[in-house]
Chains A and B, each alone.
Chain A
Amino acid sequence: MSGLFGPFDISASGMAAERLRMQVIAENLANANSTKGADGLPYRRKTVVLQEAPQFDSVLAGVEATGIAEDARPGRRVKDPTNPDADKDGFVTLPNVDSVTEMVDLITSQRGFEANVQAMNDAKQMFQKALDILR
């Protein structure tokens, strides 16, 4: 049985998922030039893994983030012998972050967040109209 506030939970799950995506994108952008992480390797692009939240009694539950995955694609190598992280041939491996991709994802995520807000506002209006019957 879906509770009275089911639709709010669904939209909230969508907002939480998009917010997490924006957070991870911000981290990717911030580390777009980090040539050495805690493991000594260049930073690797991270992505949020989303899946449909499991339903109970066929009641829709929205979306959930199951984890944060690392992008395995290799990073770009550039010649920069003065960089302390350069290998013996003078090449530095940059993170596999493409800032244009990240910016596009950021906009998509932001629009997705706004769409969830709109859905939540619609639910609010509907509840208010239902409550008006009591007046």
Chain B
Amino acid sequence: MGRRLRRETIVGMFDSITLLEKAMVGAGRRHDALSANVANANTPGYRRVDVDFHGALNAALDSSDRDKALANVEFTAEQDGSGAVREDGNGVDIDREMASLTENNLEFQAIAGVLRQQFRTLETVIGNR
């Protein structure tokens, strides 16, 4: 007789799928913000925006009702006042944006890869392959 899978194990798996899904949404939002910065690299007076999706996810995980907080987590683009401003009032450093874009892209791909593996595991559990 095989060992029974503990109920929490399965619940935990669906938990992580939700978390990974939200992380993908967050990374997608961050990509929007970073590409808006690149598009506005020559717009006078433009201040860069960024989405702190790690912070938003951490806050949701730390809250008392974790599931609800995670389901309702929102990723907002906030203006970033830090960094040097050019003569025309523009605060975009194009090299920094390109580096962040690449970093965020790889992070998104990593999350998507893990999520894909989770579904693979589920398929194995179901006996679909």
Are chains A and B native binding partners rather than an unrelated pairing? yes
Chain A residues within 8 Å of B, Cβ to Cβ: 2, 6-7, 10-11, 13-14, 17-18, 21, 50-52, 58-63, 108-109, 111-112, 115-116, 118-120, 122-123, 125-126, 129-130, 132-133
Q: When the two chains form their complex, are residues B42 and A122 in contact, meaning their CB atoms are under 8 A apart?
A: no
| A112-B42, A119-B38 known, 6 other contacts, Cβ within 8 Å | A7-B32, A10-B39, A11-B38, A116-B39, A126-B108, A129-B113
Q: When the two chains form their complex, are residues A60 and B32 in contact, meaning their CB atoms are under 8 A apart?
A: yes
Query: Interface size on B (CB < 8 Å)?
Result: 34
Stretch at the interface among B1-9, B53-61, B62-70, B93-101: B93-101
Q: When the two chains form their complex, are residues A126 and B41 in contact, meaning their CB atoms are under 8 A apart?
A: no
Tell me how many residue pairs across A and B have CB atoms closer than 8 Å: 104
Within the complex, what minimum Cβ distance (angstroms) separates A122 from chain B? 4
In B85-127, the 8 Å CB interface with A consists of 94, 97-98, 101-102, 104-105, 108-109, 112-113, 115-116, 119
Q: When the two chains form their complex, are residues B112 and A60 in contact, meaning their CB atoms are under 8 A apart?
A: no
Chain B residues within 8 Å of A, Cβ to Cβ: 24, 27-28, 31-36, 38-44, 46, 49, 76-77, 94, 97-98, 101-102, 104-105, 108-109, 112-113, 115-116, 119
Q: List B contacts of A17 (CB < 8 A).
A: 39, 42
Q: List B contacts of A6 (CB < 8 A).
A: 32
The verdict on A14 contacting B109 (CB below 8 Å), with A7-B32, A118-B101, A123-B31 known, is no
User: In the assembly, what is the distance between CA of A21 and CA of B43, in Å?
Assistant: 12
Q: Give the dominant DSSP class at A's interface.
A: helix
Interface centre among A62, A118, A119 (most CB of B within 10 A): A119
